[in-house]
Amino acid sequence: MQSIKSLSTTVIVLLCCLTGLLAQPYRPSAAINARVETLLSKMTLEEKIGQLTLYTTDWGSTGPTIREGYKDDIRKGACGNLFNSHSTAFVRELQKVAVEETRLKIPLLFGFDVIHGYKTIFPIPLGEAASWDLEAIEKSARVASTEASAAGLNWTFAPMVDISRDPRWGRVMEGAGEDPYLGSRIAEARVKGIQGKKLGDPDAMLACVKHFAGYGAPMGGRDYNTVDMSEKYFREFYLPPYQAAINAGAATVMTSFNDYDGIPASGSKFLLDQILRKEWGFEGFVVTDYTSINEMVMHGVVANDKEAGELALNAGVDMDMQGGIYQAYLKKSLQEGKVTQAQIDEAVRRVLRLKFELGLFEDPYKFCNAEREKNTLLAPAHRAAAREVARKSIVLLKNDQEVLPLKPSQKIALIGPLADNKTELIGNWNGAGNFNDCVSLKEGLSGANMQYAKGCELDGADRSGFQEALRIAGQSDIIVVAVGEKANISGEATSKTQINLPGVQEELVLELCKTGKPVVVVLMNGRPVVIPGIAEKANAILETWWLGTEAGNAIADVLWGKYNPSGKLPMSFPRSEGQIPVFYNEKSTGRPFDPNSKWTSKYIDESNSPQWPFGYGLSYTSFAYTTPKASVETATTRGIPSGKQVKVWVSVTVSNTGKVAGEEVVQLYIRDLVGSTTRPVKALKGFRKIMLQPGESREVRFDLTADDLSFYRSDNTFGMEPGEFDIMVGGSSNDVKSVRIRVN
Ligand code: NOJ
């Protein structure tokens, strides 16, 4: 097989078409290209640079707002795109300046971070990932896009598809967790949901895949920090979701703040030109993250802002977010021959194409219909969808003696700083969401035989509420205690070294456990947390993340058993911070863990396994798996193009052995026993979410593809090697049954 590095775009596109695996990467039509050329021929250099410029309004930002007077910039044609302006009235006001007061009347793009809902807020992305329900995730993105596009927006800075194995990194809440396969499927679902049936529809927005690339792997989990790892590792574990999003048609890509292999992403020809455009055939535009061109000076790879702009354009950055570098220096750089007119023109083409694609030239106000805005935001159907996705996102981590579901006859003590709280439920990056629209847990449980006490705050050392909490606990049959994090301690710039529950919350829970009454812990948080005491002592634990507008109803549905929990963790929960990073798809090492040998890979003060692993999650029913069967013991793959099925499938029968109906996520993992480079002990390659009635059994079959068995080999090519593979199927990464096959 050819080296990946030398594969031409044509070959890749051809392969992709053959396999049918690549949905449809964005491709401009000839008609649009022709319109772009006509417009481009009329533009001055300043107007062209304006199209490559994106500024925030003063409505909100995630960094220093270094520029004022954006309206004047629009008027001069010096700013062709805005972000952080939304609502039809405001967008209309700004669009009017562009289309009525500029020479060429080129409409603006309006971007915003619509991360998990615009007005109706859905679970945080990490939470939604726990649903392993691609239809539900696509629906969530669709609703978000429907609402945001009704509020004037045509571009969202989502999905964030950065793989992360480090819960110290606060942004894990925005992604899909630790696994490249699950992350890729979710990336596709989100892009499809955001962009809808086709760009140009009034409810379709441009998606922006971010942060390209490797942003989820900063050293020490510290946001914005250096990223470095071998190219093979990078391609195997970190790049797949970005590519999946491109293949699903994502129209734009955002660069990341970090460097990779010594080059900041916004100046990396390797990332932007070689991988993104040449290997993956991306034809949309690339925008930087917030002032990340400027930050290349601090990275120390250029001496000043002007050089930073040159590095960025030469690498393949089309649009400068908020830095003002292109606007300030590109003209001079062109005069000095540091960049070419052709490069500038190409970047402008990429931006203009998508403005045509959206239909903005036909109707620049197509997203500014106030009536539509009013009828769309927080529509009852959207709230219903949010409740549905929210309940699917909940993970049952523990349920000893089946204390859950609650029984209507039980007297409940509802305790905890998040039990009667709304402000945190919409999580971080909550669009235009208003926490007053949220249903709290207490409201969700209304009608129950229940007493409430707060117990303590979300942080701080005040234990004065313990007494009242213990008093009502003493009068109850069962305790439900809601603890977790404030929403603003996950998300951007919120890296932490201690990921336990802040303040005295764990202490409160442990005090409640001492009463001897059954304790159900409802966790609300944005990242995996370390809670060894609670993990041991509580009877039941529900991970509910931040579930959004319908949080309280969704949690109540699960507590009462009106919905049987079906979520599975998309990211491992460590036992202690010292284990981080702890993830399921690790390599074997030359000295794999052996409890009887000191000289093997382990800690002397902690177990190797996480508290709860990737793929783990309980149900109110139980499932039994047969040992998987392979259709053949030896499969042949010769001559089969990448992505095609090898002639082998694996099947298992899954039975619901409990008393209630339930959904199970049947997970398929693969291990290549001998490879020319070390292989993970397990790698997810497929999953199915199935509903089974009590007593019902179903056969689940997975057809293996050549790609499932392929990897980056010692010569840097991607492909299979003949040999033996363990094919494992089960309901969690740590609970599988296995069959061995040979591939010739
Ligand atoms: C910085 C964040 O890293 C990025 O994800 C976001 O889209 C931009 N700010 C714009 O708000």
Does 423 score more than 60 pLDDT? yes
CA dist 553 → 137, 425, 458, 550, 568 (Å): 19, 12, 22, 6, 20
Please state, rounded to an integer, the average pLDDT across all residues of the chain: 94
Same-domain check for residues 403 and 514? yes
Q: What is residue 328's predicted lDDT score, i.e. its pLDDT? A: 97
- Ligand 1 atom nearest the C-alpha of 257 is 3
216 Cα: distance to centroid of ligand 1 (angstroms)? 14
Same-domain check for residues 707 and 647? yes
Contact 169 CB / ligand 1 (< 6 Å):
no
80-137 pLDDT, tens per residue?
A: 999 999 999 999 999 999 999 999 999 999 999 999 999 999 999 999 999 999 999 9
Same-domain check for residues 353 and 466? no
Does 205 score more than 60 pLDDT? yes
Q: What is residue 60's predicted lDDT score, i.e. its pLDDT? A: 61
Does 692 score more than 90 pLDDT? yes
Query: 290 CB contacts (<8 Å, ≥6 apart)?
Result: 61, 62, 63, 321, 322, 323
207 lies in some domain: no
pTM of the model: 0.95
492 Cα: distance to centroid of ligand 1 (angstroms)? 8
439-461 pLDDT, tens per residue?
A: 999 999 999 999 999 999 999 99
The whole-angstrom separation of Cα 330 and Cα 88 is 33
Same-domain check for residues 644 and 509? no
Average pLDDT over residues 207-232: 98
The CATH number of residue 527's host domain is 3.40.50.1700
690 lies in some domain: yes
Whose alpha carbon is nearest atom 11 of ligand 1? 62
Domains in the chain, number: 3
Q: What is residue 268's predicted lDDT score, i.e. its pLDDT? A: 98
CA dist 256 → 157, 186, 264, 278, 521 (Å): 12, 20, 8, 19, 37
Residue 670 tokens read as: 């693969």
35 lies in some domain: yes
Average pLDDT over residues 217-227: 98
DSSP 447: T
Q: Which residue has the higher pLDDT, 67 or 374?
A: 374
Same-domain check for residues 487 and 562? yes
Contact 112 CB / ligand 1 (< 6 Å):
no
Which of 352, 377, 402 corresponds to the end of one domain? 377
Contact 113 CB / ligand 1 (< 6 Å):
yes
- The pLDDT-based confidence of 648 (bands split at 50, 70, 90) is confident
Q: What residue has token string 């302006």?
A: 85
The whole-angstrom separation of Cα 721 and Cα 676 is 8
Same-domain check for residues 370 and 439? no
Please say whether the beta carbons of 417 and 456 come within 8 A.
yes
Same-domain check for residues 480 and 420? yes
Contact 353 CB / ligand 1 (< 6 Å):
no
**DSSP string of 389-443?**
HHHHH-EEEEEGGG-PSP-TT--EEEESTTTT--TTTT-SS-TT--GGGSPPHHH
Does 379 score more than 80 pLDDT? yes
Does 2 score more than 50 pLDDT? no
721 lies in some domain: yes
The whole-angstrom separation of Cα 459 and Cα 229 is 36
Contact 210 CB / ligand 1 (< 6 Å):
yes
Contact 65 CB / ligand 1 (< 6 Å):
no
Q: What is residue 64's predicted lDDT score, i.e. its pLDDT? A: 52
Whose alpha carbon is nearest atom 4 of ligand 1? 289
Please say whether the beta carbons of 615 and 584 come within 8 A.
yes
Same-domain check for residues 350 and 391? no
Does 3 score more than 60 pLDDT? no
Does 462 score more than 90 pLDDT? yes
Contact 223 CB / ligand 1 (< 6 Å):
no
538-568 pLDDT, tens per residue?
A: 999 999 999 999 999 999 999 999 999 999 9
519 lies in some domain: yes
297 Cα: distance to centroid of ligand 1 (angstroms)? 19
Coil, helix or strand at residue 246: helix
The CATH number of residue 644's host domain is 2.60.40.10
Same-domain check for residues 527 and 668? no
Same-domain check for residues 491 and 346? no
Average pLDDT over residues 167-184: 98
- Ligand 1 atom nearest the C-alpha of 210 is 5
289 Cα: distance to centroid of ligand 1 (angstroms)? 6
Question: Lowest-confidence range among 53-62, 373-382, 564-573?
Answer: 53-62
Q: What is residue 645's predicted lDDT score, i.e. its pLDDT? A: 66
Does 15 score more than 50 pLDDT? no
Question: Lowest-confidence range among 291-300, 417-426, 699-708?
Answer: 699-708
Q: What angle do CA 731, 710, 581 make, to 5 degrees?
A: 55
Contact 174 CB / ligand 1 (< 6 Å):
no
User: What is the SS3 string spanning 262-280?
Assistant: CEEHHHCHHHHHHHHHHHC
Q: Which residue has the higher pLDDT, 642 or 489?
A: 489
By most ligand atoms within 8 Å of CB, the mutation choice from 62, 66, 110, 490 for ligand 1 is: 62
Same-domain check for residues 635 and 718? yes
130 lies in some domain: no
Query: Which residue in 289, 320, 437, 557 is the catalytic one?
Result: 289
Does 13 score more than 60 pLDDT? no
Query: 342 CB contacts (<8 Å, ≥6 apart)?
Result: none
Whose alpha carbon is nearest atom 3 of ligand 1? 289
- The pLDDT-based confidence of 4 (bands split at 50, 70, 90) is very low
Please say whether the beta carbons of 153 and 205 come within 8 A.
yes
Domain carrying residue 461: 378-579
Q: Is 73 tagged catalytic? A: no
Q: What is residue 634's predicted lDDT score, i.e. its pLDDT? A: 84
* Amino acid sitting at position 676: S
CA dist 439 → 297, 379, 545, 562 (Å): 46, 15, 15, 17
231-241 pLDDT, tens per residue?
A: 999 999 999 99
Same-domain check for residues 541 and 451? yes
What 637-640 contacts at long range (C-beta under 8 Å, 24+ apart), as own/partner pairs, is 637/706, 637/709, 637/720, 637/722, 637/743, 637/744, 638/744, 640/706
Q: What is residue 221's predicted lDDT score, i.e. its pLDDT? A: 98
- Ramachandran region of residue 117, left (φ > 0), alpha (ψ -120 to 50) or beta? left
